[in-house]
Amino acid sequence: MWLLDKFLGKAIKHGQLIVTDHDGKEYSYGPGGEYPPEVGGRPGPVRIKLTNKKAANHIVRYPQMGAGEAFMWGWLVVEEPHDIRDMILLVTMNAKRLGDSSLKAKGAFRKGIQRIKAAVDGINLRTSARANAEHTYNLTRQLYERFLDEDRQYTMAYYREDPFDTSLEQAQMDKKAHLAAKMFLKRPEDNGGKPMKVLDIGCGWGGFALYLNKMYDCEVLGVALAPDQIKFSNERAAELGVADKVKFELMDYRDVMGEFDRISSVGLLEHVGTIHYPQFFEHTNRLLKPDGVMISHCCGRAGPPGYTDAWTRKYIFPGGYIPALSELVTESEKNGWQVMDVEAMRFHYSHTLEEWYNRTVMHEAEITEMYDEVFYRMWLFYLAGAEQSFRNGGMVNWQLQYVKDRAAIPMTREYIAEESARLREIGEIPSWRFDPALKEAAE
């Protein structure tokens, strides 16, 4: 306990954290009192119990892995009325991020080893890329139904108004409008009578592809590597009567052939792996027409390149990496792209993740029944840990617009705000439901 005691004694300067070790001895850190409301968690003191004598050493010896595993295994218990989210936000508000460099037990050598391991994990060949996608996105359908919006947007929502007075559903609708506006799509009547062809790489559960088709009457090919996502997306297209125009295929983006007017990738680049960025930008450049536009939305680092922590690589996103802007721009420039627009989306994802966390807690009994308590605690730790990265850490979301010819888009940015407003006025895809017999068969 002495190493953990030493770290917490230095780290907690605001609020209060009270730790009861497995032997009943109590330790208190921080001055107590009020702390800034932007922290996000409920004010303290936050009380935790370490139920296993190995817990303290496990947390300190493996700082990128230990706290998450201790919570998953029940070695670390947060006492009511607080929960793991409150604890993480309190600690990271003080330490600024999990795995802060002040945790000396980590050491430069261990950090170097983690960088090497993360780089190796980021090699996403076709076979490993599919396995990694299935690890995350082929979980039980009902899990995602419990915490995502109805359209199953598993990326940042866009809070144009007060986040505390905006529903997740509204914010996700606004995100789609904001992204679509940057694609500068044209309806057939404005494109010589021809529907535009769009490639949606990493299409998820099909929501954005279906949105683009509804708003622009375009033809969309969505590709992803998780079988259940593709099955679900095709079911949605059939239910909406647009399966002839919106198609979803279980396919690696590297195997896509043809030519497209527009390309979108939303939440995709985090799974590509930095070693594959040249291949991604070279292949997408080949797929896009000379006057085309590509839009990319991804989680990002506001600072320099880094590496994915060990716990997230092992349990949530194997092969995943959140890129720095320099990595995205440098590699795209080498492969014929011109970056026309860059937007850093600050704090939006922290509010999104907070809502996902709250909805997960609401469905604790159902999720535990689907899996078990270890999985449920793992999911809570993932959502809370991710939220702190976008609230207290250095994570943002990047939206980048790429072209091959600068004449492909208007000269000024007004068209983005104008088109986004037009799309929001039109509204969302109508709420859809499976026929009960079809839904039962699918499940």
Q: Are residues 20 and 61 in the same domain?
A: yes
Residues of the chain with pLDDT below 70 are 35-39, 96-138, 428-443
Most distant CA pair in the chain: distance in Å?
76
The DSSP H or E segment spanning 181 is helix 168-183
- The three-point CA angle 363-202-355 to 5° equals 30
Of 74, 297, 276, 302, nearest in space to 177 by CA:
297
Query: Does residue 121 belong to any structural domain of this protein?
Result: no
What is the token pair recorded at 110? 């261990």
Please check whether residues 133 and 278 belong to one and the same domain: yes
In a domain, 113, yes or no: no
Residue 439: what pLDDT? 38
φ and ψ of 377, to 5 deg: -65, -35
Q: Look at residue 116 and tell me if it is in a domain.
A: no
For residue 69, how many C-alpha atoms fall within 13 Å in the half-sphere facing its CB?
A: 19
Residues 31 and 149 in one domain: no
Query: How many residues make up the chain in this entry?
Result: 443
- Give the Cβ contact number of residue 321 at 10 Å: 28
User: Within 10 A of 157 (CB to CB), how many other CB atoms are there?
Assistant: 26
Alpha carbon distance, N-terminus to C-terminus of the chain: 47
The 3-state DSSP class for residue 47 equals strand
Note whether 316 and 365 are same-domain residues. Answer: yes
Which CATH number fits the domain that encloses residue 36? Answer: 3.30.1050
Residue 249 lies in domain: 127-442
The residue out of 38, 71, 105 marking a domain boundary is 105
| DSSP secondary structure letters along 116-134 | HHHHHHT---HHHHHHHHH
Alpha-carbon gap, residue 173 to 207, rounded angstroms: 10
Number of structural domains the chain divides into: 2
Structure tokens at 94: 């003080």
Question: In this structure, is residue 20 part of a structural domain?
Answer: yes
Beta pairing, strands 15-20 & 219-224: unpaired
**158 and 284 share one domain:** yes
Residue 435, classed as helix, strand or coil, is coil
262 touches 146 (CB < 8 A) = no
Do 95 and 133 sit in the same domain of this protein? Answer: no
Task: Please check whether residues 366 and 256 belong to one and the same domain.
Answer: yes
The DSSP secondary structure of 252-297, one letter per residue, reads -GGG--S-EEEEEEES-GGGT-GGGHHHHHHHHHHHEEEEEEEEEE
Which of 24, 88, 123 lies closest to 311, judged by CA? 88
Are residue 162 and residue 45 in the same domain, yes or no?
no
What's the rounded Cα separation, in Å, for the pair 309 and 151?
29
* End position of a domain, from candidates 57, 72, 105: 105
**CA Rg, the chain, in Å?**
23
By the 8 A CB rule, do 200 and 212 touch?
A: yes
Residue 118 lies in a domain: no
pLDDT number for residue 38? 65
85 and 134 within one domain:
no
Burial 242-251 (b: 16+ CB within 10 A, else e): beebbbbebb
In a domain, 114, yes or no: no
Q: How far apart are CA 214 and CA 432, in angstroms?
A: 14
Q: Which of 74, 105, 136 is the last residue before a domain boundary?
A: 105
Q: What is the pLDDT of residue 114?
A: 45
**Residue 305, domain member (yes or no):** yes
Q: Rounded to an integer, what distance in angstroms lies between the CA atom of residue 126 and that of residue 258?
A: 20
The domain that holds 192 is classified in CATH as 3.40.50.150
In whole angstroms, give the CA distance from residue 196 to residue 241. 19
Residue 119: inside a domain, yes or no?
A: no
213 and 346 together in one domain: yes
Query: Is residue 25 domain-shared with residue 150, that is, in the same domain?
Result: no
* Torsion of Cα atoms, 69 then 74 then 76 then 78, to 10°: 120
The answer to whether residues 142 and 227 belong to one domain is: yes
